[in-house]
Copies of this chain bind each other. A is one copy, B any other.
Amino acid sequence: MPLTRISLARGKSPDYLRALSDSLHRTLVEAFEVPPDDRFQIIHQHEPGEMVFDRSYLGGPRSDDFVLFQVTAGRPRSTATKAAFFQRLVERLAEAPGLRPEDVMVVISTTGIDDWSFSGGVASMVQDEVEGR
């Protein structure tokens, strides 16, 4: 149920973007309690000057390869789960596409399970309840 917006500077190859997407998704499945087919991501590629970030606040040094992952989750996860997800994500991204851990920032927001309609106009996670079944 997560939806992730991935923001980075324009200029990377299609293979690089696919590796970003794959590594994120594998980590969500492995460490964030996400089903394998539950894959929804939007990539935003930005022009020079459109990504504004401090190079060293609480980490870094961040480079021009900086990537921001903004995850909207469908239900809460524990602090321990989130922390393990953050750690595993940078490991996988270091493997592919070869992103430095210092260049990875993640922000999670949480909604309710009745906030999602995946398709067809149904409240996907609570449809039985809605229909009084």
Q: Which residues from chain A sit less than 8 Å from chain B, CB to CB?
A: 3, 7, 14, 17-18, 21, 25, 35, 37-47, 49-54, 56-60, 62, 68, 70, 72, 79-80, 82-83, 86-91, 101-112, 114-124, 126-127, 129-130
Query: Given A49-B17, A70-B3, A129-B79, do A106 and B101 touch, yes or no (CB 8 Å)?
Result: no
Residue of A7, A79, A91 with most chain B CB atoms under a 10 A cut-off: A79
Query: Given A62-B119, A68-B42, A108-B115, do A35 and B57 touch, yes or no (CB 8 Å)?
Result: yes
Query: Given A39-B54, A52-B21, A57-B35, do A105 and B79 touch, yes or no (CB 8 Å)?
Result: no
Number of copies: 3
